[in-house]
Amino acid sequence: MNISLGIPRERTNDERRVALSPAGVKILTENGIRVTIEKHAGSASHFHDQEYAEAGAEVTDSLHELYSKSNVIVKVSPPQEHETPLLRPEQILISALHLGSIKPSLVKVLLDKKITAMGFEFIQTRDGDLPIVRTLSEIAGSLAIQTAAKYLETGYGGSGILLGGIAGVPPAHITILGAGTVGLFAAQDALGLGARVTVIDKEINRLRRFEAFFNRHIVTAIANEHYIAELARVSDVMIGALSPKQKFIKPIVSEEVVKSMRQGSVIIDVSIDQGTCFETSRHTTHTNPIFVKHGVTHYCVPNIPSAVAKTATFALTNTLLPFIMKLNAHDTINEILWNSHSLRKGTYVFKGYITQKNLAELTSLPYREIDMLLATG
């Protein structure tokens, strides 16, 4: 398939990342893929237009031109409403989807135009790993601890507790809900700073792996109402770190439990882009990242890795690049999906149908299994 790839500038509120770094673009152009990037697309990540031009990309200040000449669009966040008219029938779109804030109107456009849409959240290897989610979760986990330390400070309205404590003064107590990648990196950084860490999860095997990995330097508990309520009363920080694989229809921490937390304590809801982990959570932004409810500071920014846009762009490029290269290996989209388990799993809209059951349930739009669509040509 002759790939002409377009990288638009991100227009979502406070999204500072760009889908590919200049080094990633250079690899693509050296492999015969034409790349067009919108002017200033990398500026917020401190990548300059000249770097992209030197990597072989065409830099354009016309978004319409970029969409019209590209058969593959790669971006970080889902297209905004003013971008969807620019999508051309049967284009390939690769981006995050953000199930927690998905708009059925966007999905309807993708269906009507028979776009092949692939989501970062769904791209999966044969062993069940979600490589793009994992990479961004590593960043989010580490940033959750940095953020918690900041908002515990007195000047930010926090309880004035140093995360790691000092000699003679106990450290902060951090409870992490979810023993996935976010939880792993959050626990690692919290322990490194000297905090007391408790990790809770519904799956005992996940907790066993955590105990073994951290050589029993953390406390673990099964995620039931009793333990959650008990830990909320003694925690200085609670981090919602459920993975996309851990389906949760309603928040697992109720408002009553949040009310029982100490004044000046902090909630970091990393899960906000998939669905709220705390009943009191609501979307915030990097510009206005926090709000206080029941005396508890809430940080509920969906695109946490955007706070370190350059690191996040490098990380995204590293994981995304091999999948883009797969597009260049076959002549048609059907052949590409037949031959790539990861891209087939990652596709959520194909030939006018939703191919991810959970998305179809959320939007009440038509669903078909992708294997069946591929088999019928």
Per residue in 27-72, pLDDT (tens digit) is: 999 999 999 999 999 999 999 999 999 999 999 999 999 999 999 9
Rounded to two decimals, what is the model's pTM?
0.91
Higher pLDDT, 377 or 270: 270
Distance CA 66, CA 55 (A): 17
Helices (DSSP H) in the chain: which residue ranges? 22-30, 49-54, 63-69, 104-112, 131-151, 181-193, 204-213, 225-234, 255-259, 309-327, 333-339, 341-346, 357-363, 370-375
Element (DSSP H or E) covering residue 268: strand 266-269
Residue 173 is among the residues annotated as catalytic for this protein: no
Percentages of the chain per state (helix, strand, coil), in multiples of 5: 40, 15, 40
Mean pLDDT of 144-170: 96
Residue 189 is among the residues annotated as catalytic for this protein: no
Q: Which of 49, 98, 173, 189 is flagged as catalytic?
A: 98
The tens digit of pLDDT for each residue in 87-136 reads: 999 999 999 988 777 888 999 999 999 999 999 999 999 998 999 999 99
Cα 110 to the chain's mean position, in Å? 21
Return the sign of the alpha-carbon dihedral for residues 312, 275, 149, 216.
negative
Mean pLDDT of 267-279: 90
Q: Which of 189, 201, 236, 273 is flagged as catalytic?
A: 273
Strands 116-119, 92-95: pairing kind: parallel
Domains of the chain (ranges, CATH numbers):
4-128+308-375 (3.40.50.720), 136-307 (3.40.50.720)
